[in-house]
Amino acid sequence: MAEGDDLFPGFEPLWIEGPAGRWFGRAGGPADAPPLLLLHGFPQCHAIWHRLAPALARTHRVIALDLKGYGWSAAPASGADGNAYAKRKVGAEIVAVMERLGHVRFALAGHDRGGRVAYRLALDAPGRVERLALLDIVPTSVQWERIEAHPGMNPHWPFLARPAPEPEREIGRDPDAYFEGLLRSWCGAGDLSPFDARALTLYRQAWNVPERIHAMCEDYRAGGADGPDRADDRADLAAGRTLPMPVLVLATRDYLDRGKPETALAAWHRTFAPTAEGVSIPCGHFLAEEAPAATLAALQAFLAP
């Protein structure tokens, strides 16, 4: 048994040759069932879905994918333009990966950074996405409005977006201390107890690799104050573009709503998803691992035909 296989009983490991190198994922459920793509967040990998995926696979063909630069997917250098990790580019690459798996249209759920790829993909290629679930994010443009209005809020955003190699060097001194500190501070328990030890092993394996530390920083640089992700949001907002498919916003009260000028759902209503429905989950940031039953129930209700 390969490492992590026991987290996804009945799922098959996938190595997909695609844009930007090889992508890793796991697939489970009937081959002829409606496809559902799951995208994880920072600083994790596909393993965040292990408590939900088997149940979701009863009704869907579930693909849990490692984002570019995370987990076991390739972590290419950014190249001369520095935009290899722009969400527009990553979203287009994921469309190509799904096509190679035989899925032209699919439902899509994304948490954290995976949610940012998900909504950008859905804005750029709305015909590809049947339904869209966004877990614990607001649009990147809104996030920067909040950070600029309240300096010191979410300090990891500006820190990780600093020019290379400053954050890479600092994190590289003790990656476990840095990333585990973030997990502790963002989860409701304030410690690592919500995380399965097998999943933590996979997270640690990835974030101790210098190329992956760099990739995660590049992800945040693409989403930085002057990065392409924010610029793409602003252009679409100016053009009045919205998400035409059904959208579900799952937000944790502690992470997004407490003390904020508006709820996560209100932020989506005034930007890209004016008709989105919302569910608030009473836990820390890591919904799929901290509150799997409530998160699963919300996703199943939303995905039901």
Cα 226–chain centre separation: 21
Say if residue 80's pLDDT is above 60.
no
Contacts (Cβ under 8 Å, ≥6 apart) of 237: 141, 271, 272
Cα 284 from Cα 188, distance rounded (Å): 4
Cα 207 from Cα 45, distance rounded (Å): 10
pLDDT tier, 151 (very low <50, low <70, confident <90, very high otherwise): confident
Domain count, the chain: 1
Give me the domain span that covers residue 258.
5-303
Residues of the chain above pLDDT 90, percent: 90
Say if residue 81's pLDDT is above 80.
no
Strands 35-39 and 21-28: unpaired
Say if residue 299's pLDDT is above 90.
yes
Say if residue 136's pLDDT is above 50.
yes
Question: What's the CATH code of the domain at 249?
Answer: 3.40.50.1820
Q: What is the pLDDT of residues 154-165, one digit of tens each?
A: 999 999 999 999
Q: If DSSP codes are grouped into helix, strand and coil, which group holds residue 268?
A: helix
CB atoms within 10 A of CB 200: 16
Instruction: Report whether 113 contacts 157 (CB < 8 A).
Output: no
Cα 143 from Cα 223, distance rounded (Å): 10
Report, as an integer, the average pLDDT of 96-116: 98
* Burial profile 80-94: b = 16 or more Cβ within 10 angstroms, e = fewer: eeebbbbbbbbbebb
**Mean of per-residue pLDDT scores for the chain:** 94
Say if residue 257's pLDDT is above 50.
no
- Amino acid identity, position 172: G
Q: Which one has a higher pLDDT value, 235 or 4? A: 235
Q: What is the pLDDT of residues 197-220, one digit of tens each?
A: 999 999 999 999 999 999 999 999
- Closest CA relative to residue 14, chosen from 113, 100, 105, 110: 100
Cα 43 from Cα 33, distance rounded (Å): 30
Catalytic residue IDs: 112, 285
